Amino acid sequence: MAQLPPHLTPEKWLAQWLSSAEARKGGVVKRQIRDVERLVGRDMFLRELERRGFQAVQNGRHFVVFCNSAPIRRVR
């Protein structure tokens, strides 16, 4: 993992974006896989999503996080 500034821990980074307005209202948040792996690690990221009941898909260079537990249906 990359060295984070002293004021930003992996936990704080997760908390900041998972408590964003979009996440709080059950919306969709996108993050680059590279950033997730560099800043908090894939395992910690996925554990936190599971703890909150969120779902995620991986597409290209991004994780797309559905900040709710509603069914996901691919339409095309």
Are the C-beta atoms of residues 29 and 68 closer than 8 Å to each other? no
pLDDT of residue 17: 86
pLDDT tens by residue, the chain, 76 residues: 566 677 888 889 998 888 899 999 999 999 999 999 999 999 999 999 999 999 999 999 999 999 999 999 999 9
pLDDT of residue 74: 92
Q: How many CA atoms lie within 13 A of 71 on its CB side?
A: 3
Cα-Cα-Cα-Cα dihedral sign, residues 18, 48, 30, 8: positive
